[in-house]
Structure 1
């Protein structure tokens, strides 16, 4: 891995979303399932994608809170998004919270699990970001996201009642974590109903 801005495993490419991606981001974010499980604005407009690229992505890279677009080729279109942000509960420079979404057109191919592994490898690498903990959170019921986290080695840590806010509504969330010392193999300690 030469740098953190472009990550690849030869099947999937991750690179920072930029101005030329704004229309593709806007189009992808029209999918109802994305609004159901994320805190993105609904309806999602082009101005929201512009704000995301200019006000979140660019400053995020400057403050160790990177965002990557998922692409099927080095110069391919955006099919998803993944990033490392600041965990809500604490301001810990050695920890990050992973968040992601994927277009329904490419789901079921293992792309997000690959992306999470690439991002965790970069996140834990002392020469890149040097995080000691990466946290995953999802609104209860988001079994697809939970499956990705479980396959990527995140260990289930519990239910936070009313732990998340989505467009003014407080919702329960699941939480899991992965430490830099944890293996990236699938975690086995998850409850059956998550």
Structure 2
């Protein structure tokens, strides 16, 4: 059983989402890009946001996933998490609220999460995956030093706008605890 950990950066506070975050999560998840590029339900309801906050509590409790809400001086900025934690590895996932994009918050937050993953958690590897075409997510992964490992054909579940379920091609990259954490520049 793990207690939620709060992380801080020069501009952000990362903490487990709480009930008072549900409205901001709901509002952000109305963004078509979040619904297209992530696995949030589509359409996304207030009940989905409330259920998500409850799920995060359980994930922290059982140690399967650690998820943080990002808070900047302007307010709620997005979500970042370590998913599928086990056997020395995890997967990094994130999305930024539309009004928080373009200011480096996600790179800053994800760097703090990686410091936690490779520091106190002692993970050996963190994987990043994104729907092919999600260049914003890829730019963050590159800034963090992830090494591109290829395209997984039909490698990701895809909900898409309007709840069109299926699988989609996904980019994949990895970062080892021993890798230099310097920006990479891979062709996608």
Q: TM-score by structure 1 length?
A: 0.88
CA contact (8 A) 1:6 1:13 kept: yes
Tell me the C-alpha RMSD between the 2 structures: 1.6
Is the 8 Å Cα contact of residues 24 and 77 (structure 1) preserved in structure 2?
no
Q: Mind listing any 5+ residue stretches in structure 2 that lack a counterpart? A: 160-164
Higher strand proportion (structure 1 or 2): 2
The 3 A distance-change label for structure 1 pair 4 and 46 is: closer
What is the alpha-carbon distance in structure 1 between the residues aligned to residue 19 and residue 33 of structure 2? 24
How many residues get paired?
180
Which structure ranks higher in relative contact order (CA pairs < 8 Å, sequence separation ≥ 6)?
A: 2
Q: Deviations over 1:81-128 (max 9, x none)?
A: 0000017xxxx4211001000012121111111111000000111xx3
Equivalent of 1:116 in 110, 119, 125: 110
Quote how far apart the aligned CAs of 1:176 are: 0.2
Correspondence 1:42-191 to 2 at 5 A: 42-55=42-55, 57-64=56-63, 65-73=65-73, 77-86=75-84, 92-125=86-119, 128-167=120-159, 168-188=165-185, 190-191=186-187
Are the structure 2 counterparts of residues 48 and 7 from structure 1 closer, same or farther at C-alpha, using a change threshold of 3 Å? same
Residues 120-158 of structure 1 deviation map (CA, whole Å, 9 limit, x = unaligned): 000111xx3221100000000000100000000110000
Work out the CA distance in 1 between the residues paired with 2:6 and 2:157: 31
Q: Which deviations, in whole Å up to 9, do the C-alpha atoms of 1:42-73 show, x marking residues without a partner?
A: 11101111111112x11121233210001114
CA distance in structure 2 between the partners assigned to 1:17 and 1:77 by the alignment: 13
Partners of 1:82 and 1:153 in 2: CA distance: 17
Q: Taking structure 2 as the reference length, what is the TM-score of the superposition?
A: 0.91
